[in-house]
Structure 1
Amino acid sequence: MGGRQRHIGVEGRRARLALRHRLAAQARAKTPEEVAGSLVALHGTDPATVYLAIGARLADAGGTVPEVERALYEERTLVRMHGMRHTVFVFPTGLAAVVHASTGLAIAAKARAGLVKDMVTGSDGRLTAQWLTEVEASALAALARRGQATVGELTRDEPRLKERFTYAAGKSYESLQPVSSRLMRVLGVEGRVVRGRPLGAWTSSQFRWAVAPPHPELPPAEAQSELLRHWLAACGPATEADLKWWTGWRVTDLRRALSAIGAVAVTVDGGATAYVTAGDEEPAAAPEEPWAALLPGLDPTTMGWQERDWYLSPGLRPALFDGSGNVGPTVWWNGRVVGGWAQRPGGEVVWRLLETEDLGQQARAAVEEEAARLSAWLGDTRVTPRFRTPLEKELSA
């Protein structure tokens, strides 16, 4: 695009975030599908994150659990599958083919090659690639017959899944690995199986597996362009570093996709170049009212960008992130992270503001209202984040 680049400052970016991520009261959604469509992807590594992230964005959060279960397991309008950076996400089902072709294929090829190499080496050649092909075909047939199944159930149908091999022989982290867990992960990245209903409550991390619904095979470059278009519409402006981090793609693939969709370069505060979709350079309207939100650990908004200073002060990170870069539960006020929250064993939702400035009584009252709303729909359920952070541990004690 010729001419001088448009500038989108911090306040403009926060306004976009508030409305496009359905966090301001006026932008809240009616259904989980609306939330997922607006965010493109919901982190699914911690099962509770999906429900908490959706509940924070629904106009009526009281029906969050049954509504999410309807979408995931009954109507299958949402699907939990491996995606960017070899991470489990929940996507709108209509994007499954796009995610698979844009991201999953490259990861899947490496995952399968790694499994075969580790399996052959760790079994002294007893377990071969041909053997694996036979076992996976048998396991997939058993899964199709059952509809949904745990790994334990599948091993009863196909006992060869119980076979183990030595991983990293001679290393300090040497271990015996079952074929079953590695194979199901590979099949998941390949888009051949998806996560089904969990065992127990919605907070459980023990899932059944199901055969993936059929989807068209798309050209990878076309799929990358489509995924990038969706994500920039939700999260633009974003820098090249943000985009590379979120997608996990090579720089050459990223730049090709940016060109293919006609992405427009803009500047953001600090002078960096960022990108938006064509026609999205104009200033966004600010939310009608100030807003507060209590977002869960690994929330897709908090984890949406690699360069986060415009909504998260660096001084807050030691309290809100674990040692691997996973964010814990956060408190938001008007487009920026201002603190964290946790749930105590008795069920009480507690929070703390970390910003040094006094945010005022309006902010405190709004956060308290959100904490009460969250506590009401959680009811007797207790949620402990999969990745514990310093502030969450302290508050929950």
Structure 2
Amino acid sequence: MNIADARMHSQRLVAPAFETPGEVVRWMGAMQAQDYHQAVWAIGSRMANPALTAVEAAIDAGDILRTWPMRGTIHFVAAEEARWRVELAADRIRSSGTARRRQLDLTDDDVNRCRDIAEKRLAGRRRMQRGDLLRAFEEGGVSTAGQRGYHILGQLALQAVLCIGPNDGKQQTYVLLDDWTHGAPSRPRDEALAELARRYAISHGPATAHDLAWWAGITVTDARAGFEAARPDVTPRDIDGTVYWSADGTGDQTVGAGHLALLAGFDEYLLGYQNRDAVIDRANASAVCPGGNGVFYPMIVVGGQIVGTWRRTLRKGLAVIGREVFPRRDGFR
């Protein structure tokens, strides 16, 4: 099996056929979205007829939304799945931030006071820009100075109180998760792990337990348990001594050597895995994320391999595409 070819098909980057943004996000399970415009491009890359207006309409309608379900990073998720996705990894994310909250002198009482304020100010599907909401916290007697405001919002998101709503112009807004999702349900942990693993293997496979653990912010033990519980929808396969999970039939299709895709920065094709060697030469990885600063450039993919980066510049109504192609190395497809 060629892992890159199989992933291109699993991720629906070959002959994309999804009709709506919601179909894309439900298939993928979650899509990284701290950069709004790159995330919109990533969704469109998997649609038969991509359009910015379609993605924005899905957000405005509350079909998909942004929250912090994994790794403390913003992702798009389907609205009806938002609560259980957040709850699954929330304890680990909270634990990882304990020391930082202590440094900021941010207490549980502070967070609870802000929760009360948010629930009152946002009730009835109201939304507030970030700055306005932080000012409301300040008026309620809780300092949001420095990074305190960021961490307060993060804690309320991990409690499944807040999520990110539709943009107000170019400004991000916050809404109450339950109002916006009509009370999205929780799931028993074992059931949630199984569904998480099933969806991940089908949309990202072939992938390992370590890939799933990294992607979802769970333990490797939980990732393995999730895959096992997701049988028979997903199955393991030994590839060069490593166990990969995917849906039955994955790997039967190939990607033509000349197949071209211009993917978004932060696209799941790269960031959806702990080990990315199957799709990019390690020597070129730093060109996609210079300096390891956490900012990933849009990617040129040819025949399943990431071979360069690209950028778009708007000039007087024209979109000018610039590119940087990596040096070719012998023995690397």
TM superposition score category, shorter chain reference: 0.7 to 0.9
Letter of the aligned partner of 2:49 in structure 1? D
- The alpha-carbon deviation at position 208 of structure 1 amounts to 0.9
The answer to whether structure 1 residue 191 and structure 2 residue 178 are counterparts is no
The amino acid that maps onto 1:209 is Y
Whole-Å separation in 1 of the counterparts to 2:273 and 2:110? 42
Q: Which residue of 2 aligns with 1:351?
A: 323
Q: Structure 2 residue aligned with 1:316, among 260, 284, 288?
A: 284
For the 8 Å contact 1:151–1:180, the answer to whether it is kept is no
SS in 1 for 2:18: coil
The 3-state SS of whatever aligns with 1:28 is: coil
Cα offset for 1:310? 1.5
Q: Determine which of 14, 17, 23 is the counterpart of 2:4.
A: 14
Q: 2:186 aligns with which of 179, 194, 217?
A: 217
Deviation string 1:25-49 (CA, Å, 9 cap, x unpaired) is x333322122222322111111111
The answer as to whether partners of 2:255 and 2:304 remain within 8 angstroms in 1 is no
**Residue 276 of structure 2 corresponds to residue 276 of structure 1:** no
- The one-letter code matched in structure 1 to 2:73 is T
Of residues 62, 65, 78, the one that matches 2:52 is 65
Aligned to 1:296: 264
Q: Which runs of 5+ in 2 are unaligned?
A: none
Secondary structure of 1:243's aligned partner: helix
- Residues 151 and 308 from structure 1, CA distance in 2 versus in 1: closer, same or farther, beyond 3 angstroms? closer
Structure 2 match to 1:96: 82
Q: Which amino acid aligns with 2:238?
A: T
Q: TM-score, normalised by structure 1?
A: 0.72
Label 1:286 to 1:198 Cα distance change in 2 as closer, same or farther (>3 A).
same
Separation (CA, whole Å) in 2 of partners of 1:299 and 1:84: 15
* Equivalent position amino acid for 2:259 in 1: W
Alignment of 1:267 with 2:235, yes or no, is no
1:85 to 48, 71, 81: 71
Asked if 1:47 is matched to 2:42, the reply is no
Give SS of 1:302's match: helix
Per-residue deviation, 1:258: 2.3
Say whether residues 1:339 and 2:308 are aligned partners. Answer: yes
Give the partner amino acid of 1:310. A
Equivalents in 2 of 1:52, 1:103: separation in Å?
26
| Deviation >6 Å, runs of 4+ | none
Shift of 1:261: 1.9
Pair 1:310–1:289, CA change in 2 (3 A): closer
CA distance 1:22–1:199, change in 2 (3 Å): same
CA shift, 1:191, in A, is 1.5
Letter in 1 for 2:195: E
TM superposition shift of 1:185: 1.3
Contact 2:32 2:39 in 1 (8 A): yes
Between stretches 222-231 and 47-56, larger displacement belongs to 47-56
Secondary structure of 2:174 counterpart: strand
Percent identity between the aligned chains? 24
Gapped runs of 5+ residues in structure 1?
A: 1-8, 166-175, 359-397
Corresponding residue for residue 120 of structure 2: 141
Given that 1:49 and 1:298 are in contact with CA atoms closer than 8 Å, whether structure 2 keeps it comes out as: yes
Is residue 255 of structure 1 aligned with residue 244 of structure 2? no
Q: Distance in 1 between matches of 2:20 and 2:125?
A: 30
The total of aligned residue pairs comes to 320
Q: Is the 8 A contact 2:13 2:45 kept in 1?
A: yes
Change (3 A) 1:221 1:78: same
RMSD of Structure 2 on Structure 1 (CA):
2.8
Q: Do the aligned partners of residues 314 and 200 (structure 1) sit closer, same or farther apart at CA in structure 2, a change above 3 Å counting? A: same
8 Å CA contact 2:114–2:152 kept in 1: the answer is no
> What TM-score results when the alignment is normalised by the length of structure 2?
0.85
Q: Which amino acid aligns with 1:276?
A: S
Aligned counterpart in structure 1 of residue 209 of structure 2, from 240, 249, 265: 240
Q: How does 1:144-163 map to 2 (within 5 A)?
A: 144=123, 147-155=126-134, 157-160=136-139, 163=142
CA distance in 2, matches of 1:238, 1:128: 39
Aligned to 1:328: 297
Whichever of the two has the greater Rg, that structure is 1
| CA distance 1:276–1:130, shift in 2 (3 Å) | same
Change (3 A) 1:146 1:217: closer
The 10-residue stretch of structure 1 (96-105 or 284-293) with the greater mean CA deviation from structure 2: 284-293
Any conservation in 1 of the 2:84–2:187 contact (CA below 8 Å)? yes
Does structure 2 conserve the Cα–Cα contact (< 8 Å) formed by 1:41 and 1:89?
Answer: yes
Distance 2:278 2:296 in 1: 16
